[in-house]
C-alpha cells in the first residue's frame, strides 16, 4: 500500500470511528488492465442503518486534463456511496470504475459532475449513473500532495441523469428535497421532477 493510500485508509478509519463505527471495514479490491487496484471499503452500518462504500486508490494520482502539459500536480479525490440495506451485488465494481475514471479516461471528478456508467450500477437496479457532490468527510492534507477530497457519489437513474443534463445538479437536489426522496435508499423509485 502506497503512502497516500495508507494515509487515506487511516483517515477514513478515524472519521468513521468518530461516528461510532469501530469495526474493521470490509474490503473489496478491483483491478483494471493497466491500472493499479482500487480498493472499496465498506463502513457501517451507522446509527441510521447506512453503509458507506469508499474508494481507496483514486487519490494515488492527481486528476488532470489529459491535454495538460504538466501532470504531476492537481486535485485528488476519493468517492463515497452511502446506501441503506444489504450490500448490492456489483456495487464495489461500479465504485471502482468511478474511482479509476480519472486515470483511465482522464476525467476530473468535481462537485456536480455526472458520471454515466452506461449500465446498472449493481445487479437489478435502475441506477446507471453517479451524481457527485460534497461529502461529509473532511479533506486529507499531506506534505507532498494536494488535499484529498472525499466526494459523495449519489446513484441516479437515466431519467434523473437527463434532468441533471437539462436543468443542472442543483435543480435535481432541490427536487429530491421537495419530494422527500431519500437518495440513500437503494430501492427508491426514480424522481420525476416537473
Cell of 128: 446507471
Q: How confident is the model at residue 32 (pLDDT cuts 50, 70, 90)?
A: confident
pLDDT at position 190 is 75
pLDDT at position 1 is 57
Average pLDDT of the chain is 91
Cell of 123: 445487479
pLDDT at position 64 is 79
pLDDT at position 57 is 96
Percent of the chain exceeding pLDDT 70 equals 94
Which residues, 6+ apart, have CB-to-CB distance to 19 below 8 Å? 46, 47
Summarised one tens digit per residue, pLDDT across range 4-25 is 999 999 999 999 999 999 999 9
Lowest model confidence (mean pLDDT) among 69-78, 133-142, 156-165: 69-78
What's the average model confidence in pLDDT over 59-78? Answer: 77
pLDDT at 180 over 80: yes
3-state percent breakdown (helix, strand, coil) of the chain, nearest 5? 25, 30, 45
Running DSSP on this structure, what letter comes out for residue 128? E
pLDDT at 68 over 70: no
CB atoms closer than 10 angstroms to residue 60: 22
Summarised one tens digit per residue, pLDDT across range 149-170 is 999 999 999 999 999 999 999 9
Largest CA distance in the chain: 48
pLDDT at 194 over 90: no
pLDDT at 65 over 90: no
Summarised one tens digit per residue, pLDDT across range 79-112 is 999 999 999 999 999 999 999 999 888 899 999 9
Task: Find, among 36, 30, 58, the residue nearest to 153 by Cα.
Answer: 58
Overall size of the chain counted in residues: 194
Distance of CA 101 to the CA centre of its chain: 11
pLDDT at position 71 is 58
pLDDT at position 106 is 87
What's the average model confidence in pLDDT over 124-137? Answer: 96
Q: How confident is the model at residue 28 (pLDDT cuts 50, 70, 90)?
A: very high
Contact 73, 146 (CB under 8 A): yes
Amino acid at each position: 500500500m502506497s503512502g497516500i493510500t495508507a494515509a487515506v485508509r487511516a483517515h477514513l478509519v478515524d472519521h468513521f470511528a468518530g461516528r461510532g463505527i469501530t469495526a474493521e471495514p470490509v474490503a473489496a479490491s478491483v483491478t483494471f488492465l493497466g491500472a493499479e487496484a482500487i480498493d472499496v471499503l465498506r463502513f457501517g452500518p451507522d446509527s441510521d442503518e447506512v453503509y458507506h462504500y469508499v474508494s481507496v486508490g483514486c487519490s494515488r494520482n492527481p486528476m488532470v486534463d489529459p491535454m495538460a502539459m504538466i501532470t504531476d500536480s492537481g486535485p485528488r479525490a476519493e468517492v463515497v456511496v452511502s446506501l441503506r440495506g444489504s450490500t448490492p451485488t456489483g456495487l464495489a465494481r461500479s465504485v471502482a470504475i468511478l474511482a479509476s475514471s480519472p486515470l483511465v479516461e482522464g476525467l476530473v471528478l468535481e462537485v456536480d459532475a455526472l458520471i454515466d456508467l452506461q449500465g446498472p450500477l449493481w445487479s437489478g437496479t435502475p441506477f446507471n449513473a453517479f451524481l457527485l457532490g460534497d461529502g461529509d468527510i473532511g479533506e486529507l492534507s499531506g506534505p507532498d500532495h494536494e488535499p484529498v477530497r472525499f466526494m459523495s457519489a449519489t446513484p441516479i437513474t437515466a431519467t434523473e441523469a437527463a434532468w441533471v443534463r437539462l436543468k443542472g445538479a442543483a435543480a435535481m437536489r432541490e427536487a429530491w428535497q421537495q419530494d422527500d426522496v431519500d437518495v440513500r435508499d437503494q430501492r427508491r423509485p426514480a424522481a420525476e421532477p416537473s
